[in-house]
Amino acid sequence: MADQAVSPEHPPTIFRKDYRAPAWQIPEISLDFSLDPDVTLVRTRLRLERTGDHDEPIALDGEELKLREIKLDGRDLAAGDYELTEEKLIIPVAGDTAELETLVEISPKANTQLMGLYVSGGIFCTQCEAEGFRRITFFPDRPDVLSRYSVRLEAEKATFPVLLSNGDCVDSGTAEGGRHWARWEDPWLKPCYLFALVAGDLAANRDSFTTVSGKPVDLAIWVREADLPKTEHAMQALKDSMAWDEQTYGREYDLGQFNIVAVADFNFGAMENKSLNIFNSRYILADPDTATDADFDAIAGVVAHEYFHNWSGNRVTCRDWFQLSLKEGFTVFRDQSFSSDHGSEAVARIGDVRALRAAQFPEDAGPLAHPVRPESYIEISNFYTATVYNKGAELIRMMKTILGEDGFRKGSDLYFERHDGEAATCEDFVTAMEDANDADLSQFRLWYSQAGTPRVRAALSHEPATSRATLTLEQKLPPTPGQPHKDPMAIPLKLALFGEESGDAIAQERLVMLTDPAEEIVFEGVGERPILSINRGFSAPVTIEGNRAPDDLAFLSAHDDDPFARYEAMQQLMVETIIDVVSGKRPDHKPVIEAVRRTLGDDALDRAFIAEAVLLPSESFIGDQMQTVAPDAIHAAREALRRDIGTSLEAEWRAAYAATSANAFEFTPAAKGLRRLRTVALGYIAARGAKDAPKLAFDQFEGADNMTDRYGALGVLANGDAPERVAALDIFYNRYRSDALVLDKWFSVQALSTRDDTAQAVAELIQHADFTFENPNRLRAVASAFGANQRAFHVATGAGYRFMADIILKTDKINPQTAARLLPPLGRWRRFDEDRAAMMRAELERILEAPNLSKDVYEQASKSLGG
Ligand code: B3K
Ligand code: ZN
């Protein structure tokens, strides 16, 4: 199994090549929970079936379980009849089938890792993906063991009046001592990572949905009673998702109930347990006073994502965790398409690409780079990454681009039909796409196995005499850990040519498959000078390097008929302008200012698109384009450009601000666009240093009838040093201190501040009475936000690095999974100057030297150091 020595310092590596089908299947499991926060008893009966001709014992996983009883075919086993280690229970079995019964004791209240069964705000809940079920009972905790579940829950009735599990509730009753019970049965085979239970004092927002074939489904969103009014948006998103999956993928829901529960303490966004989705409350609760438009959109996206998993993940699951992108990449692609269909396609695509570039490109360029289908891991929780999720979604999107809308649907139909009820692989998905279309995706498969972001160099030349244009495309595949050399990839590039004089498309959009290291494409009949529009719609997750002059980019930003390409041209123009200044050239802000002016004044564009297009790229994105990141110089150059855009276009910003101001709250795409542009305009007015800017921001803050405007204004104030800043922060705190999700925003806005003292500010924030290491949302509101704040995190003294390492070490003792997710910013040391790199390395070494480090943090820190 492991190729390296196993010791506490060096936990074993698991390799994809070592996959073996399970020696035993468990077609049926019955679980009986006697719930108590301190001591919960779990009685489990498993029907064991030997698979194939072998004499291996049954090996069950188990972690932090106290074994009280064990019986095989009704007979008590003696200590010598089985082997029990810290992680395994191994039992020799004579026959080919048997019934195993265990009784274990667990302690949900003491579970701060939030994996397995735990208590959040007085509610029992579970999280089993990826390997949490082994913290509940002994079981082969792997996704290719599929079972039918029957679950009995018993708890004190007054404190835990609601008892939920997967499937349908088939019976319930009262028990002695003020307790009650319920039995749930799930007819669908499922892996144990999809098991869930919830018990607590919850109220439901109930609704219903009738499926396309006329079957009624009872829907319920369970929250604390006081939060019921905040569940409407999530409910609407759920019903929209159910209808969308029927229309778009022909996928109907398959049970009589669908339950969602929101809890306050959750390691990530939400979990797709069969018919009992458990959510971080942040992705359920919203009303205009407490949630921003971005929060509303994220809620719809996550509700859709988890619902879509019912087919892409649950009905067809993953054979092993190396195949994680099979369900995650596909499901992200599905939720992206859903959001795009329910709003502006262009703005949705800009958002997808922005997220990919913010999280995945840096991952691909750093020590933690891994293929979409990884080859090995130490701790699987570390592989719920932007590569597996977001780049994985880009792979699915590319297949759709290559095969076309109908071909893609034929492929997904075949995939679902072929693998329904199975644990499948990424390879199965690609094969279904090929078979349904009689296509050959052999070279395309490299996207699953080769890490790193391909770079495509595009050079266009023009010969007026022959009216011929020649485009040379060249692909370069940067080395990544363990993959020094790579084969050329199949890269689908949508491109078009525009005429400089006419402004017309002189070569209409076409799809070019770049499959060789270098290729040449000739365009005939090109009389006027052509301008290249490439990777339109972001057809491939690559970086384009080209010879497009600032004027050409400015031209595209005004004339391209692909909105994404238009946005992209503007971004590139901005990035190049800032990098020129950072590398010592005299600033020439004019092309950017003119491009922003034109976009702002283009009445044909929707406001949401304008707001995205005129925003400067983030400091970290600019850094990613540089050989060595220079955080302070980037900040200075970007701020100077912002100031200049603010000053030169002051009249335009004020006009835009005024035009978007009389905006009584409505949750429509148009109203959202106005709100977005409003705060962007406010930001530019403030950047210019206008005297009245703090007052303008404060008035917006005070007068707002919604969180988008209020938080937008607070963000502008938090970056400055006007007295209004302190006043607004205090008002915000006092108004929302009892609403945890809004209080998270109060922490974040300070950790994200571009002020000089942010590294100091976060050190104080974690001393605040409302800060806690135990709630992942609160922890991330400070630590993840700070890690994403390039200038503050990389403050030259190294205080940011020390702060983060301290937080990681402290969190590791409580919640290793969440601790490990804070590590990547420290791992990017190779991208920085020597002094910073040395300080970052020193912190990574300090982390690695700490006693009793979790596997999670060990893996991230050791790989980040390059060891
Ligand atoms: N499948 C879960 C993620 C579980 C993460 C475990 N570390 C949520 C989702 O992607 O839908
Ligand atoms: Zn998912």
The model's pTM is: 0.98
Specify if 32 maps to a domain: yes
Q: Which residues contact 696 (CB under 8 A, 6 or more apart)?
A: 657, 682, 685, 686, 690
Specify if 651 maps to a domain: no
CA–CA distance, 630 with 639 (Å, rounded to integer): 14
Same domain, 332 and 275: no
Q: Please give the number of the atom of ligand 1 that sits closest to the Cα of 269.
A: 8
Ligand 2 centroid, distance to 363 Cα (angstroms): 19
Residue 126 structural domain: 1-201
What's the pLDDT at 4?
44
Comparing CA positions, the residue from 712, 725, 719 lying closest to residue 293 is: 712
Q: How many domains does the chain have?
A: 3
Is-contact 278 127, C-beta < 8 A? yes
Same domain, 8 and 145: yes
Q: Average of pLDDT values for 9-30?
A: 95
Same domain, 134 and 260: no
- The answer to whether 306 is a known catalytic residue is yes
| pLDDT over threshold 60, residue 397 | yes
Q: Please give the number of the atom of ligand 1 that sits closest to the Cα of 272.
A: 11
Q: Average of pLDDT values for 178-184?
A: 98
| pLDDT over threshold 80, residue 556 | yes
Specify if 685 maps to a domain: no
CA–CA distance, 565 with 538 (Å, rounded to integer): 8
As a whole number of Å, the end-to-end CA separation of the chain is 20
Query: pLDDT tens digit string along 724-781?
Result: 999 999 999 999 999 999 999 999 999 999 999 999 999 999 999 999 999 999 999 9
Is-contact 275 169, C-beta < 8 A? no
What's the pLDDT at 383?
98
| pLDDT over threshold 70, residue 7 | no
Among 425, 449, 473, the domain-final residue is: 449
State which of 266, 267, 271, 335 you would mutate to test the pocket of ligand 1, scoring each by most atoms of that ligand within 8 A of its C-beta.
271
- Residue 383 Cβ contacting ligand 1 at under 6 Å: no
- Residue 129 Cβ contacting ligand 1 at under 6 Å: yes
Q: Average of pLDDT values for 148-169?
A: 98
Same domain, 58 and 194: yes
For ion ligand 2, residues whose CB falls within 5 Å: 328, 331
- Residue 680 Cβ contacting ligand 1 at under 6 Å: no
What's the pLDDT at 663?
62
What's the pLDDT at 5?
41
Query: DSSP per residue over 380-392, as a string?
Result: GGGG-SHIIIIIH
Q: Average of pLDDT values for 345-354?
A: 98
Ligand 1 centroid, distance to 142 Cα (angstroms): 15
| pLDDT over threshold 70, residue 234 | yes
| pLDDT bucket at 664, cuts 50 / 70 / 90 | confident
Specify if 805 maps to a domain: no
- Residue 305 Cβ contacting ligand 1 at under 6 Å: yes
| pLDDT over threshold 50, residue 701 | yes
Q: Which ligand is nearest to the CA of 815?
A: 1
Among 449, 475, 501, the domain-final residue is: 449
Choose, from 63, 101, 272, 306, the residue flagged as catalytic: 306
Same domain, 14 and 45: yes
Specify if 241 maps to a domain: yes
- Residue 271 Cβ contacting ligand 1 at under 6 Å: yes
The residue whose CA has the least distance to atom 1 of ligand 1 is 271
Residue ranges of the alpha helices (H) in 292-371?
Answer: 293-308, 324-341, 345-355, 361-364
Q: What angle, rounded to 10 degrees, do the helices at 669-687 and 693-703 form?
A: 150
CATH of the domain at 229: 3.30.2010.30
- Residue 115 Cβ contacting ligand 1 at under 6 Å: no
Same domain, 385 and 402: yes
Same domain, 344 and 436: yes
Query: DSSP character for 586?
Result: P
Ligand 2 centroid, distance to 258 Cα (angstroms): 17
| pLDDT over threshold 70, residue 629 | yes
What's the pLDDT at 6?
45
| pLDDT over threshold 90, residue 2 | no
Q: Please give the number of the atom of ligand 1 that sits closest to the Cα of 302.
A: 11
Comparing CA positions, the residue from 62, 24, 63, 77 lying closest to residue 46 is: 24
Specify if 443 maps to a domain: yes
164 to 184, 220, 401, 653: CA distances (angstroms): 8, 11, 42, 53
763 three-state secondary structure: helix
| pLDDT bucket at 1, cuts 50 / 70 / 90 | very low
Q: Average of pLDDT values for 55-68?
A: 98
Specify if 477 maps to a domain: no
What's the pLDDT at 9?
58
| pLDDT over threshold 80, residue 37 | yes
The residue whose CA has the least distance to atom 3 of ligand 1 is 271
Specify if 837 maps to a domain: no
Q: Which ligand is nearest to the CA of 268?
A: 1
What's the pLDDT at 606?
94
| pLDDT bucket at 867, cuts 50 / 70 / 90 | low
Q: Which ligand is nearest to the CA of 131?
A: 1
Average pLDDT, the chain: 97
Among 422, 449, 476, the domain-final residue is: 449
| pLDDT bucket at 661, cuts 50 / 70 / 90 | confident
Same domain, 181 and 256: no
